[in-house]
Amino acid sequence: MSERPEQLWLGAPVVLASRSAGRARILRNAGVPFTVHPADIDERTLEIGVAHDELALKLAQDKARHVSREHPSAIVLGADQTLTIAGALLHKPGAMGQARDQLLSMRGRSHTLTSALAVARDGEILFRHRETATIIMRRFSERTLDAYLAAMGDRALASVGCYEIEGLGTHLIARIDGDWFTIVGLPILPFLAYCRKHGLLRD
């Protein structure tokens, strides 16, 4: 009889310091048991003075460190993602009109996603990793954009790019250059390698 995926995991459940459904889905599909405890931190304040290409890693570490202090001895996984286009940093839109404007600004252009993760225990960072991916958007029509946003609803506000690469967002994209997990927001392969090295996963 073959092993169930969760039988590959040897440690206690990971604490995921993120409310991202995409990150939770990646962990679940990989058979990593976890609980969710989003980090209560002010991201906009923490990003002041930090270079755009360093921000995702800083926030991932801050989240992991913060939550790990509330879960003694637990392995806490923090993660974050940033999007830059022509050197400008974008944030999650607060309303559908902002999402529409943001997607129009991205139409026919490339943008960079930087995804980072950090592992912490008892307030100490044990492991960190960062990867980037490039997305080239189609020159989609405004009619297509409006239909897309109507179908997505509030889900379009859940990510900085206003799209889900694993879902309807594929209709807006011409090409991707990079790791799929990085695009979703959790470059999990380095995390799994870390877990195998430290006896949390079967080797």
CA distance 162 to 178: 18
Q: Which of 40, 42, 53, 80 is catalytic?
A: 80
**Per this entry, what is the length of the chain?**
203
SS3 state at 131: strand
Catalytic-residue membership of 42: no
Of 135, 199, 144, which Cα lies nearest the Cα of 173?
135
Please report where in the chains the tokens 């993602």 appear, as a residue: 81
Residue 12 and residue 73: Cα distance in Å, rounded?
Answer: 10
Burial of 117 (0-12, 13-18, 19+ CB in 10 A): buried
For the chain, how long is the longest CA-to-CA vector? Answer: 54
Residues involved in catalysis: 80
